[in-house]
Structure 1
Amino acid sequence: MMDLVGWISALLLLLTVSAQVFTQWRSGSTKGVSHWMFVGQLATSTGFVIYSASVGNWVFVASNAATLCAALVGQVVYLRNRRRAPQGTKDGG
């Protein structure tokens, strides 16, 4: 039963990060988004994957690996949008 709670929580986190990435991709903008959010998420998810694997918690290995992938895509989309922005309109951090 507790694994189910873990899987549902992981799914909600993944949907949240993915929704942000999709919105950013669709808008083609970096407005209101800091690239440090994705850098932090990449570092955090990497650490959690390593930790979860070391303690044998496969629910969180899988969920953090998926979140890591979403954050990586988010960082790529952020950098693409920033590169495409007209000079003088680049925002975000």
Structure 2
Amino acid sequence: MAEIIGWTASVVLLLTLGRQIVKQARRPEDRTVSTWLFLGQACASALFVVYSMMLENWVFTVTNTCLLITAVIGHVLTRRR
């Protein structure tokens, strides 16, 4: 089960980052960030937190929790603009 969560988190994160790259490549003059970047990062980070906890890897648990917090803050700040 832990492997499935870990791989799912990896796929979500890669798809999210890929989407942002495509958006920037199509409109290089546009400096906006895709909403999907923050939502995908938050989803992937949450899954990575669960995965890291299942493995009892506290370095990655804390790191991914911090990444989850940054995704939420980034999304909130982007929505306010």
Q: TM-score range by the shorter chain?
A: 0.5 to 0.7
Is it true that 1:66 corresponds to 2:61 in the alignment?
no
Letter matched to residue 67 of structure 1: L
Residue ranges of structure 1 left out of the alignment (5+ in a row): 1-29, 82-93
Match of 1:32, SS state, is coil
Could you tell me the TM-score, scaled by structure 2's length?
Answer: 0.61
What is the Cα-based RMSD across aligned positions, in Å?
1.3
Unaligned runs of at least 5 residues, structure 2: 1-29
Look up the equivalent residue of 1:51 and give its one-letter code: Y
Mapped to 1, the partners of 2:37 and 2:72 lie a distance apart of: 11
| CA apart distance, 1:52 | 0.2
1:56 paired with 2:21, answer: no
Larger % of helix: which?
2
Distance, in Å, in 2 between the alignment partners of 1:33 and 1:56 is 33
Matches of 1:68 and 1:37, distance apart in 2: 12
Report how far residue 31 of structure 1 moved.
Answer: 3.2
Distance 1:41 1:33 in 2: 12
Q: In structure 1, what is the equivalent of residue 27 of structure 2?
A: none
| Rg comparison, structure with higher value | 1
Q: Name 1:24's counterpart in structure 2.
A: none
- Asked which structure has the greater RCO (Cα within 8 Å, sep 6+), the reply is 1
Q: CA deviation at 1:56?
A: 0.3
CA distance in 2, matches of 1:69, 1:32: 20
